Structure 1
Amino acid sequence: MSTQSRDITFNHIFKHLLDLTQLNEDPDTLIQLFNEQGLTIDVQRIEAWTKDYSDPSARRMPKMMFCGFMNILMNIKNEAQLKEINLFDLRGILEDIREAEVV
């Protein structure tokens, strides 16, 4: 295994965040969110940016696009918060899910 494939990359983080937010299942919304940031992407780029560098079809996610994605997440969080929707708030989550198991 090369050192390169063991490093954490923008591709790895992007893929995990897409999985966490379930945007991996909704590329149209992801593309729209990037467009709202003035960034153009398509399904092929999304697929290439979520692959490990060891895959010949992988492409390195540019830093500008990764930073744009992080801005997207913050903007969505802030927009949701205005409507009293708490995204990404895991405070007290263990108590909540473990109490739900007991009930």
Structure 2
Amino acid sequence: MSTQSTEITFNHIFRHLLELTQLNEDPDTLIQLFNEQGLTIDVQRIEAWTKDYSDPSARRMPKMMFCGFMNILMNIKNEAQLKEINLFDLRGILEDIREAEVV
């Protein structure tokens, strides 16, 4: 039996969003984005907040930091939209990827 928690936590959501945005591969950018929100983080906090609570080195991501991260995503989306870059827009994605010609 797995010791991993089945509870959905800020840590789980944060980890998945980092993977989805690939910010898990660019901690410097992630740290800068948090700093721009007036929030201080470091690599150790990122690592601790992306672990399951069953891991002794995990730390619960504070609600304030999680909300800050969600604000970061919205701010980046809005900033990109000003430059006509559509982040997170998956409308019509199935047609685009399934009907695209393979070169």
**TM-score, normalising length: structure 2:** 0.94
**Conserved? CA contact 2:37–2:68, under 8 Å:** yes
Residues 101/12 of structure 1: CA separation in 2 closer, same or farther (3 Å cut)? farther
**Conserved? CA contact 2:77–2:86, under 8 Å:** yes
- How far the C-alpha of 1:58 sits from its partner, in A, is 0.2
Unaligned 5+ runs, structure 1: none
Unaligned 5+ runs, structure 2: none
Higher helix share: 1
Instruction: Tell me how far apart the structure 1 counterparts of residues 21 and 2 of structure 2 sit (CA, whole Å).
Output: 30
Residues 48/8 of structure 1: CA separation in 2 closer, same or farther (3 Å cut)? same
- How far the C-alpha of 1:79 sits from its partner, in A, is 0.1
Number of aligned residue pairs? 103
Instruction: Tell me how far apart the structure 2 counterparts of residues 55 and 20 of structure 1 sit (CA, whole Å).
Output: 22
Query: Secondary structure of 1:4's partner?
Result: coil
Instruction: Tell me how far apart the structure 1 counterparts of residues 27 and 75 of structure 2 sit (CA, whole Å).
Output: 18
Give the RMSD, CA atoms, in angstroms.
Answer: 1.7
